[in-house]
Amino acid sequence: MLDGVDRLIDLTGFHSSGLTGAGEHDIVDAVRRGDTDRLAATDGHFAAVARDGKTVRLARTIGVPLRYFVAKMYHGPFLVVADRIDALYAWCRSQRIGWQFDPAYTRMVPAHYLVEIDQVGCPDPVPRYRRFFNAPVAVGSPDVAVAGERYVRAALGAARQWLETVPAGEPIAVAFSGGVDSTAAWLLVRRASEQLGRDPDLLRAFTLDLGGGADAAQAHDVARRLGLERSWERVEVPESEYDLREAIVTMEDYHPLDVECAAAALCLLRAVRGRHPRLRYLVDGDGGDENLKSYPLEDSDLTLSSVLGNPLLYQEGWGIDAMKHSLVYSGGLSRGYMRTFMPAMRYGFDAFSPFTCRSVIAEAQAMPFDTMLGGDPARLATLKQDVVRAGIRSVLDVDMPIAAKRRFQDGAHASPRGRITKAWCRRQFDELWETQLREADRDEFRSGNETTVPAGAR
């Protein structure tokens, strides 16, 4: 291994969204030093990587992806960092070592952890994980009105913090189904706009309609009842554009529900981009279901006790040390947020949801769900709407309409669609990568024992 060769390739650089409590230099310095307390003192989103001697440290929050791959070179292992799997592959091909690559060898940095990797040679380094988000659990009031007020007030604060980073006068899109979370997100950013002395009508809500979907009528009714019909737009897209394979390519994952959601998001954002070329900023309600555990247990292998016993289950999955944890992906929304981030990035949007910020997740964590649910799994279907509606009424003095709960991808279609299977999605994912990896077979082969330092090494 050659001394003096810095073997970190950062293809992404620092990325943030609605970040408060620190600037870019502060975050990168805290990551370099392994200062989890400094990272914990921030809110909003970031992804950063830094080197400290032979140790590379990486950290991210839910809203910004970060991945790495260990490439074998004469100088020792090169740690290549990017936000996408295909970006890691493209770098390997540029160095003529595409033959080394396999998507199964990549790793996603889990949200809310600082990851430490020592580059000391082969075998591959074993990462160490240190959590920087530790919200107290079940310490709040079980009263729905009190819990709702605290939750929505935190979400309003997060929305305002994000909006302060958006240049004044910029139009903002809202992905709007008329459901609890997207309605609350629209109202919160409008109120934040008013507080900052900006025109709330610069926000325009868009609802996807793939042909008579229930969401279009629902969203129109909610917008009308809120007096915001003039700031609402139906986006009609032929159902033939709903492409699940395209979604798998875009989000680089094969989790069925997330693939379906990403396919719908691609339809919506492609159409919005065509209608409104200037739009850059996008607000949605992603994370609201995860925060308030608003998922039907019958759709999974979960039980109420497993959900309550793992407070961040929906945000982070089973945890980095659990058997069900994937080596390639993180868990929960930490993995699933690619359904929002990647379609938005593809069409030039900067996506943000106030419900993914740690200050808001912390207020959700504080709710004593075991008491509020009273042991009744069916209460999961109504708790979120009661909490959010009470909070919106208390904080914004708005009587928010409550519409039927359904998944984004379901509400866009005219009739119910059968669920795709994970096996089908995985086959598409594998076939797509098999095609790409065959291209590396035609590249000029380069041995990892060549001594030329790769371009971009630092």
Instruction: Assign 197 a pLDDT band (cuts: 50, 70, 90).
Output: very high
Task: Tell me the average pLDDT across 376-402.
Answer: 95
Residues ≥6 apart with Cβ < 8 Å to 105: 69, 70
Reported pTM: 0.94
Task: Tell me the average pLDDT across 374-394.
Answer: 94
Task: Tell me the average pLDDT across 129-151.
Answer: 97
- Is the Cβ–Cβ distance between 151 and 363 less than 8 Å? yes
The pLDDT tens digits for 316-332 are 999 888 877 788 999 99
pLDDT (0 to 100) of residue 180: 96
- Is the Cβ–Cβ distance between 82 and 91 less than 8 Å? yes
Task: Tell me the average pLDDT across 65-77.
Answer: 88
pLDDT (0 to 100) of residue 188: 98
Instruction: Assign 450 a pLDDT band (cuts: 50, 70, 90).
Output: low
Inter-axis angle of helices 180-195 and 380-396, nearest 10: 20
Task: Tell me the average pLDDT across 61-85.
Answer: 92
Range with top average pLDDT, 3-7, 72-76, 411-415: 72-76
Q: Which of 28-42, 52-66, 342-356, 437-451 is predicted least confidently?
A: 437-451
The pLDDT tens digits for 146-190 are 999 999 999 999 999 999 999 999 999 999 999 999 999 999 999
Under the phi-then-psi rule, with left for phi > 0, alpha for psi from -120 to 50, and beta for the rest, what region is 270?
alpha
What distances in angstroms separate CA 352 from CA 230, 260, 285, 458, one per listed residue?
Answer: 23, 20, 8, 31
The pLDDT tens digits for 233-281 are 999 999 999 999 999 999 999 999 999 999 999 999 999 999 999 999 9
Catalogue all structural domains in the chain, each as residue range(s) with its CATH number: 8-133 (3.60.20.10), 144-428 (3.40.50.620)
What token pair was written down for 119? 């580059």
Kindly tell me if the per-residue pLDDT of 405 is higher than 90. no
Residues ≥6 apart with Cβ < 8 Å to 298: none
- Is the Cβ–Cβ distance between 70 and 125 less than 8 Å? yes
pLDDT (0 to 100) of residue 418: 76
pLDDT (0 to 100) of residue 79: 94
The pLDDT tens digits for 341-377 are 999 999 999 999 999 999 999 999 999 999 999 989 8
pLDDT (0 to 100) of residue 1: 42
